[in-house]
Structure 1
Amino acid sequence: MASSKFRSIESPMKFKDQDYKSLRDACLKSGSLFCDTTFLADQNSIGMPVDPNTDKVTWLRPKEICDNAVFVEGTIGTTDICQGQLGNCWLLAALSCLTMHPELFVKVVSSEQSLTEGYVGIFYFHFWQYGEWVEVVVDDRLPVRGGRLLFSYSRSKNEFWSALVEKAYAKLMGSYSSLKGGNISEGMEDFTGGIAYSQLVSAYKPPVLWRQLTASLSRGTLLSCFIQAKTSREIGTITSEGLVRGHAYAITDTNKIQIDSTEVLLVKLRNPWGFVEYCGPWSDKCKNWKKVAKAEIEKLQLQNMEDGEFWIAVEAFSSLFNMVELCSVKPDSLSSDSDSASSWFLTEYEGSWIPGCSAGGSRKYRRSFWKNPNFKLSLTAADVEGQGDDDDDEDDANRSNPNYQLSMTAADVDGQDYDDEDDANAAAQNQKEKGKKCTLLVELLQRDRRSKNKVQFLHIAFHIYKVENQVGKLDEAFFSSNKPAGRSGKYQAVRGVYNRVLLEPGNYVIIPSTYRPNQPGDFFLRIYAKTGNTLGREKFTCSTNFFMTVMSNPPLPEDQMRVNNWFDQEDVSDDRLDAAAFMRLVNSVLEKDYHLPLETCRQLVLGEDTRGKARLDRTQALKLVTSLRNLQSTFFKHDEDSSGTMSPFELTEALNASGLKCDSEVVKVVWERFGSGEIHLPFHGFVSCVTRLRALHELYESENLEKKKSGLKTWLLRLLAL
């Protein structure tokens, strides 16, 4: 669905249907303090277990913690945010960056709130969530242990805005423990609605890096950085220079000073802990500052105190840090031609990976990759010359690097490029070819993977294919014989992957996918294109209806003989078989590992016109035996791994081969109905699927036209759920 659906900052979605003004007015009228019933002041909201040997956690309001409590003490600054006993430095580093941009900060934290005037214990904050702004209401009861805030706090002990922002974000994610571990880019995007991306520090020479950081800050870009931990054990350890591995730092400023004839380029960082600072050259207590004029020191606002904020020379920064994360609110800051004013067109989509329907996995799984959701791109207006093999364009080269997995999350990505290497080379070559190109800025985000007490990101990526004179659906053959024209890069277990892609004018399709098939998940896709290009959704993968082809196969002579012998030799009353006798007959014909249980045989018998006797005559029994033999052959053919079971995608193809053409919605309901929540379907389940669909189709066809107005698909979906 297009961007018009999504809520703006002026009209945000009300989280949990809570309206701040209505709740505040009700409290003012009753003279009571607000207590949030949707995020209780209890252990469930904290999420993580509490050590019983420590002091008990209590929930107190700011005025119960500090007599002179205020929402904001003076002005907003980076030192207002200090990390508590929660591993959410990624979030607090992003919040520190946000304080450097007042026009962005007020979108998240409204300046009209106070702990004095009109105070009733209720506060609200705005966060960007997958294309729309969300208003989150909280009460001001905060977890306290040993007389101190358990989580985020301000260096000004009587200031509470940062602790309340953290609580609101925890409510949005499910609990405080849901904030443990993450990428800085998540927080940056959720505070601004911008697009975040990563750059390797090693890709720049120090002076070039300093100029890039300076230019980014001047454009209003949020910046942060971290040192990659090589193992999980290294996360949180401190280097000899006083820097923390696997820990997010905010980049808050750049500047330069002159000493004699030497120019020193400096970068200012902030540790969200509020302490533990860099102790190398140009740190707070470094003797080098004695050589600097007092006016220069005042210009840099150097503070010789342990507040987590410090300066570092860009050469040391380049040698010690691995990655810089950037978040640009404006698309022009993401484009290589950002010096020129541009007009961009934004298209946003929501979608899902549904097992057995649209969760096709990576290109490694060729039989199912084409089932993934797809979105059509029509590019007509070229806006840049092809870059060619231009090594000087370092900024552009690094923007095309895929997002990087922050090591402090649960596990590192194994680093494999799951697609064929020649695909990567083809995509890279496409970027290098000269000629007029269209600029696309593409980001794929997986939704709602932070749940209470658990953060579980799927490995995701997107691919873009050129579609030339394509008629009908884009099927397995198309994707097997064509290589991607653009892509996000390696599959990564991060919330979002981003890339800037240059494509020739033409028609394309973009495919978001997880690495493994049948992994359920929701995603959000946003695409920026220069004005003149159009983006729109078109489903190539599934038909929009259901229809059945009558499959009529003559019985085999040996089957006819076996059925007749069975009727002659068995003690068959009035020459008819009940379900139990039919089960014995069928299982004598089918392969041993594919025998049918009694319940399936009952279903088959009741599906025939037995005139109320629930028993089969010879003709009916022979027809079913022939049908089951054919279904067994179909099952053999589409059970590719010979597991004796069928995956959801194998089921789709097997149903088609059986004459049942189902679209994605019908297959999804069929799988839920007959798969019983399992990932694999046995043969008798496949038989039940086919039998039920054929019976429903025949019943529908027997209805009069007046009853058919709702359509076959609607009718099927309703009855399959019964």
Structure 2
Amino acid sequence: MANSKFQLGSFENPVKFKDQDYSSLKDASMKSGCLFCDPTFPAEQKSIGMPEDPKPENAVAWLRPKEICNNAVFVEDTIGTTDICQGQLGNCWLLAALSCLTMHPQLFVKVVPSEQSLTEAYAGIFHFRFWQYGEWVEVVVDDRLPVRSGRLLFSYSRSKNEFWSALVEKAYAKLMGFYSSLKGGNISEGMEDFTGGIASSKPVSAFKPPVLWRQLTAALSRGTLLSCFIQAKTWRDIGMVTPEGLVKGHAYAITDTDQVQKDSVEVLLVKLRNPWGFVEYKGPWSDKSEDWDKVDKAEIKRLELKKQEDGEFWIAVEAFSSLFNVVELCSVNPDSLDDNSSDNSSSWSLSTYAGSWVPGCSAGGSRKHRRSFWTNPQYQLSLTAADVEGDAAAANDADDAAAGASDDNDDNDEEEENADGAPLSPAAEKQKEKSQKCTVLIELLQKDRRRKGTVTFICIAYHIYKFQNRVGCLNETFFTSRKPVSRSGKYEAVRGVYKRLNLEPGNYVLVPSTYKPNVPGDFFLRIYAKTGNTLEHEEFTCSTDFLRVVMSNPPLPEDQMRVNNWFDKEDVSDDRLDAAAFMGLVNSVLEKDYHLPLETCRQLVLGEETGGRARLDRTQALKLVTSLRNLQSTFFHHDEDSSGTMSPFELTAALKESGLKCESEVVKVLWERFGSGKLHLPFHGFVSCVTRLRGLSELFESATPELKQHGINTWLLRLLAL
């Protein structure tokens, strides 16, 4: 009840994962005298998420800490970076982030509540908290851990009797679905989920070694979590140990920086930790390097140099710069991500939104797909209060241009433009540099891509456009006639894309998208702006009212001749064609690859007024043949890849050209009805869609006012489901 005043999902009142309440479950276990056994994450192979090894000697047992070690404790003395060692799971990204977290007690206790113990009030139950897309989530686990040959299978501590890190790992695995869901990832994922902060990355090559060292030192002093890695050029290089003792494609925690004197020369050092708990750097200033022989013993003691294989080591910043490629940072305070900011007292407003990319509705793909890009979700940003001079933002703008000029998969010509789409003149560009700008931080995260046992990140990005006046959804014409003023960068198959932007005051629309259209997914968008800005964050539903236009194309003379010849050839007594005969007529007119099956022809015949005979006279047959010829031309026009099929977005445009314009939800139901849930609709499916829509719209026109009161789109959605 004490949490009732806090919003659900806040740290004080976290969401209960699987609806499990830690306090009530622990009380029940204490009263019963039975240790807690978690039914939602059972001590079975399926929780690991990998096939069981058939060899008896490799069998996995699930044991509680006191069954593994007689003097088992939750925490041995104090929390430290060496408490975490990687087991037989490729989750170095997660454990490196956890190592960074141990250096920040105020952040650590958010994830690992401090009252837990393996001795006092012990009931075999533990709880941990993780940030998930704008909410804190509490995860309950029992303490049965997977063991093979008497050793923990996954994460463990160098202190063999300490178990907090193994239990955190188990809780995170439960949150993601399986232990196997933790294989492979970016360190930023773990850092954000442990802090709720914003993560970003910096290329090491962009800074001279002394500048890089100063930035790392400043970031650590601001409480920023830091990590780094060496990029692996191919999958074969991942896990390869270099001659210097460093592992490619492997996450390292940056735990400290310092400086020492050697022969009156100042040496700048960076302290790293390998989550494996072993395999250390072998170069200058490593644990056993002779360089330490020329350093004052008091300095060595101050640095707490340990000449043992614990995964932790020092490295000179020059060597660090030449050997590592990327540094990742994460801070709960947006100001701490600004290397040039000396004022951390400024405040920020935060706006968040959870959205979805729905195939055929709001998964329009990249700008390369011009006809569907506009259907992606759209969000408005209204920036009114500038907080930085244009000259101060010029460096960021230059970085944006350099990063965006050549690395976007869908287009390579995204120059910055004005609101009307015309490139800025040199004079205007110069004036713009002197203008005031607004600082905005935008992060787009794709959700729940680990929870099915595998990692399935899709390529995502966002684009930002400036506009003057807007009413509702911006349409295809707007986006095809303009280029974005900024974007997150190239499309990447990572959980999140982030960028700090300096934009002129004005109105903007932000469009998050996947690289390919019709790729389903959920996302979380968060936008920080300096307080004082009126930050409007609104989704516009891109839909229109249903509109039926009567097509009045006259029949072609050759079609008139073909219809008459077919009727004469069939020699029917009542001068009418049934569905089978009509199919023969239609397929003699249409191109071979677009022939209609009998069922579609029956639908067409039954849609005509035949007096209950389900047979067409010459006039009706000619009208349908003319309509089908027109639909075939429309299909040709919108089948952009000449595949002989349509995508959901091609269907929307083709329906509009055929005189049928309807809401995206109606198109979605149509697709499910006539496309069988697939992403490719053949011509006969398109004909069925048009026939069905026209019939229902005519029925709507003749309906009573009571039936029509909710509008035609509601009418269509109800009847299409029948």
Shorter-normalised TM range: over 0.9
Give the counterpart of 1:417 among 400, 408, 412. Answer: 408
Q: 1:542 to 1:650 in 2, by over 3 A?
A: same
* Cross-structure match for 2:43: 41
Judge which range, 516-525 or 650-659, deviates more. 516-525
State the match for 1:186 in structure 2. Answer: 189
Matched, 1:105 2:96: no
d(CA) in 1 for partners of 2:257, 2:538: 46
Tell me which residue corresponds to 1:141: 144
Deviation at 1:471, TM superposition (A): 5.8
Distance 2:274 2:90 in 1: 13
Q: Residue 153 of structure 2 aligns with which residue?
A: 150
Residue 31 of structure 2 corresponds to 29
Task: Please list, as runs of the form range in 1=range in 2, the aligned pairs for 1:466-477 lying within 5 A after superposition.
Answer: 466-470=466-470, 473-477=473-477
Match of 1:669 in 2: 669
How much has 1:333 moved relative to structure 2? 1.4
- Three-state SS of the structure 2 residue aligned to 1:225 is strand
Structure 2 residue aligned with 1:441: 441
Correspondent of 1:8 among 6, 10, 25:
10
Residue 352 of structure 1 corresponds to 356
Equivalent pairs: percent with the same residue? 77
Name the residue aligned to 1:649: 649
Using the size of structure 1 for normalisation, the TM-score is 0.92
Shift of residue 568 of structure 1?
3.9
SS at match of 1:358: coil
Alignment correspondent of 2:222: 219
Q: Provide closer, same or farther for how the CA distance between residues 684 and 691 of structure 1 changes in structure 2, counting only shifts above 3 A.
A: same
Farther off after superposition, 505-514 or 87-96: 505-514
Cα-Cα RMSD: 2.6
Q: Is the 8 A contact 1:177 1:452 kept in 2?
A: no
Say if 1:711 and 1:17 are closer, same or farther in 2 by CA, change over 3 A. Answer: farther
1:356 touches 1:667 (CA, 8 Å); kept in 2? yes
Shift of 1:531: 1.8
Query: Cα distance, 1:69 vs. partner?
Result: 1.4
1:123 to 120, 123, 126: 126
Bigger shift: 60-69 or 575-584? 575-584
**CA contact 1:198–1:399 (8 Å) conserved in 2:** no
Tell me the distance in 1 between the aligned counterparts of 2:467 and 2:153.
55
Alignment check: 8 A CA contact 1:400 1:500 kept: no
Residues 393, 437 of structure 2: 8 Å contact kept = no
User: Does residue 322 of structure 2 align to residue 325 of structure 1?
Assistant: no
- Give the CA deviation at 1:550: 2.9
Q: Distance in 1 between matches of 2:398 and 2:87?
A: 38
The one-letter code of the counterpart of 1:211 is: R
TM-aligned CA deviation for residue 114 of structure 1: 1.8
Query: Aligned match of 1:343 in 344, 347, 354?
Result: 347
- Matched residue, 1:626: 626
- TM-aligned CA distance change 1:153 to 1:643, over 3 Å: same
The residue that corresponds to 1:293 in the other structure is 296
Cα deviations by residue, 1:336-380 (Å, 9 ceiling, x for unpaired): 435242121111112222222222222222222222221111111
| Per-residue deviation, residues 492-532 of structure 1 (Å, max 9, x unmatched) | 11111111111111111111112222222221111111123
What SS does the aligned partner of 2:391 have? coil
Alignment partners' CA distance in 2, 1:511 and 1:434:
28
Three-state SS of the structure 1 residue aligned to 2:377 is coil
Q: How does 1:299-698 map to 2 (within 5 A)?
A: 299-335=302-338, 336-387=340-391, 417-423=408-414, 433-470=433-470, 473-538=473-538, 542-572=542-572, 574-698=574-698
Compute the displacement of 1:420 (Å): 3.0
Moved over 4 A (4+): 388-391, 396-403, 424-432, 470-473, 537-541
Q: 1:417, 1:490 within 8 Å by CA — same for their partners in 2?
A: yes
CA distance 1:533–1:390, shift in 2 (3 Å)? closer
Find the aligned partners of 2:580 and 2:468 in 1 and give their Cα distance: 57
Shift of 1:150: 0.4
2: CA distance, partners of 1:29 / 1:611 = 78
Task: Structure 2: state its 5+ residue gaps.
Answer: 1-5
- Does the CA contact (< 8 Å) of 1:474 and 1:541 recur in 2? no
- The answer (yes or no) to whether the contact 1:488–1:499 under 8 Å persists in 2 is yes
Once residues 399 and 181 of structure 1 are traced to their aligned partners in structure 2, the CA distance between those partners, rounded to angstroms, is 29
Distance 2:578 2:242 in 1: 78
**Secondary structure of 1:535's match?**
coil
Q: How much does 1:235 deviate?
A: 1.3
Which residue in the other structure is 2:266 paired with? 263
Deviations 1:12-61 (A, max 9, x none): 22222222223223323332222222222222211223443452111111
Shift of 1:702: 2.8
In 1, distance between residues paired with 2:28 and 2:571? 80
Q: Per the alignment, do residues 389 and 543 of structure 1 end up closer, same or farther by CA in structure 2, a change over 3 Å counting? A: closer
Deviation of 1:97 after TM superposition, in Å, equals 0.4
Which SS does the other structure have where 1:198 is aligned? strand
Q: Who is 2:3 aligned against?
A: none
1:355 touches 1:648 (CA, 8 Å); kept in 2?
Answer: yes
Q: Give, in whole Å, the separation in 2 of the partners of 1:467 and 1:248.
A: 42
Between 9-18 and 489-498, the greater mean CA deviation after superposition: 9-18
Q: Distance in 2 between matches of 1:32 and 1:527?
A: 47
CA offsets 1:311-348 (integer angstroms, 9 cap, x no match): 12212211221110000111111244352421211111
Are 1:275 and 2:278 matched, yes or no? yes
CA contact (8 A) 1:277 1:306 kept: yes
What's the counterpart of residue 408 of structure 1? none
Name stretches of at least 5 consecutive residues in structure 1 with no aligned partner.
404-414
Equivalent residue pairs, number:
705
The alignment partner of 1:423 has SS state of coil
**Matches of 2:707 and 2:486, distance apart in 1:** 48
Q: Which amino acid aligns with 1:163?
A: A
CA offsets 1:219-273 (integer angstroms, 9 cap, x no match): 1100001111222222112122221111111011112223453222221111101
